[in-house]
Amino acid sequence: MNKNLFQQKLLDWFAQNARDLPWRKTYLPYHIWISEIMLQQTRMDRVVEYFQRWIARFPDIESIVRASEDEILKLWEGLGYYSRAKNLVRAAVIIVQEHEGRMPQEHQALLALPGIGPYTAGAIMSLAFNREFPIVDGNVERVFARIFNLAKPVKEKESHRFIWQQAEALIPPGMAREFNQSLMELGALICTPKQPLCDRCPVSELCLAHEKNIVGERPVQGGGRKSTPLTMVAGILFSDGKVLIRKRPEGKVWGGLWEFPGGRLEKGEAKISGLKRTFYEKTGLTVGVVGKTGIIKHSYTVYRVTLYGYHCEVSGESSTRKNDGAEYKWVSIEDLNRYAFSAGHRKLIRTSLPFS
């Protein structure tokens, strides 16, 4: 491949077609860090809105450290992958304590921060500091799989190493910021997974897959990760105009998020009896079911969850609420929006409590 021609064509195209994104107005290291963490497994159009809201509330790293976990998670609600938000807080504490509140400018120092791996460290080094470090995301993998006509899945060791090597070797001196963004932008706007716009691609004449007319066959698909189906139940219990919510313990899936008490059904277990069992195990309260509120289906990284919601009432004698390491609160319907819920339980609020 003609390296110089590839670089120039891509840079010229990016100069004319770069999207107007808020972090590109400043290229501040803090802004790049936040945007890149948010962009992991999240669509660009969603991230722009979340990014602007986040920066308005947390204009600098010190403001993250001063915030409560509940506020952090509430602002993150809807982005999913809440461990990313928690790692942001942990990293912010280290940056304030060890780096005077400024993002480190050394690659190894960035890699030492919670939640920052080779991709994010490379993004900060190249986009914020214009240093010659590669960035390889799904868009870049797809572009290179087609440009170089890779016959093996991009996640396989040999392909993975080749792509990172090429991503580094192709960076023009002093142009890391523009070049890395041009590659990702090309994958996002032109070299898309389905129906790529080859007739509008600035480097199609240098693309081996295009030359062989097999763009649709690249990248080669690897074995997909299987998802596990889960059937869960949740009870919405009212008392004196308030509803009981539970904060999931740290260290558990969705730790730190709020939910309605309930849990996972055992194999062959009926929904109503499963709800009563899990509600009692979590709270020590014996409940009866007043009626069904809704069925929520939601996919997470490795789970396909079907969540059945029920309105409940306390029935018979109930013991003192058990201490399972979780925090409980009785809150008004109006105050539910102050708390961060997992996506499934947030959907349950919308379907079960339309007046909230």
| Angle, CA of 179, 182 and 185, to the nearest 5° | 155
d(CA 258, CA 70): 9
Q: What is the rounded distance in angstroms from the CA atom of residue 321 to the CA atom of residue 285?
A: 6
State the CB neighbour count (10 A cutoff) for residue 305.
Answer: 19
For 155, residues 6+ apart whose C-beta sits below 8 A from its C-beta are 222
Q: How far apart are CA 34 and CA 84, in angstroms?
A: 10
SS3 142: helix
Closest CA to 322 of 246, 258, 264: 246
DSSP code of 200? G
From the list 36, 77, 185, 259, the catalytic residue is 36
Active site residue 36: yes
**Residue in the structure block whose two tokens are 């770069």:** 18
Query: How far apart are alpha carbons 38 and 49 in whole angstroms?
Result: 11
Preceding amide of 219 cis, omega within 30: yes
**So which residues are the catalytic ones?**
36
